[in-house]
Chain A
Amino acid sequence: GAGVSQSPRYKVAKRGQDVALRCDPISGHVSLFWYQQALGQGPEFLTYFQNEAQLDKSGLPSDRFFAERPEGSVSTLKIQRTQQEDSAVYLCASRPREGSDTIYFGEGSWLTVV
């Protein structure tokens, strides 16, 4: 596709539900990032993949958050037993290759936990 695609765009979950957020990076991009953006704040790093390998997950806030990219393209961010503080926009971004700096963001998945 032309850009990073994320789905769903909007998700309302009841507290305690599990959610799964999908990211389709730009075709051929090696690196994939997940960021969390709370209202009125800058994006905060969650995790990073190079192809299928998750090389950095230092930003995941708890063990309720899990991300995977099994075939090195599409990635899924899963949040178990959602809580109100999980409400945020979850941004996916991709980068063509190691050694290039520019990353390209998707439109984000807006999660509201009620």
Chain B
Amino acid sequence: GENVEQHPSTLSVQEGDSAVIKCTYSDSASNYFPWYKQELGKRPQLIIDIRSNVGEKKDQRIAVTLNKTAKHFSLHITETQPEDSAVYFCAASTVTGGGNKLTFGTGTQLKVEL
């Protein structure tokens, strides 16, 4: 089955700096890569996603890049703010007999310090 690895597990940046979180996946058939932000005790919330026919996608301060050949994808947050502090999960979607199933990474705890 699919295996998603994510690093770093913790990331501390100064407010205004950029943050980068990287993931790798194992199943070359995976074709959809969402990123979720999860605050303590809250639901995972989709912040950006990318499909395998696109190399890069940007939404204001957030961007995601995908390298299908290397099976890497990354989340980039620019001009970080304290409210960006949360756990971020990458995921890869694999088509099963019953539909797409998300496999998640282990998460990155991002802390934005004043």
Contact = CB atoms under 8 A, between A and B. Distances in A.
B44 A45 contact: no
A41 B107 contact: yes
A107 interface: yes
A105 interface: yes
Contacts of A40: 107
B46 A42 contact: no
Given A48-B99, A102-B34, A105-B36, 7 more contacts: A33-B102, A40-B107, A42-B91, A43-B44, A45-B103, A55-B96, A91-B44
A78 to B, nearest CB: 20
Contacts, number: 61
A42 B107 contact: yes
A4 B44 CA distance: 12
Contacts of A41: 106-107
B46 A102 contact: yes
Interface residues of A, number: 24
A50 interface: yes
Contacts of A33: 101-102
B68 interface: no
A107 B99 contact: no
Given A45-B102, A48-B101, A56-B98, A101 B34 contact: yes
Contacts of A43: 44, 89, 102, 104
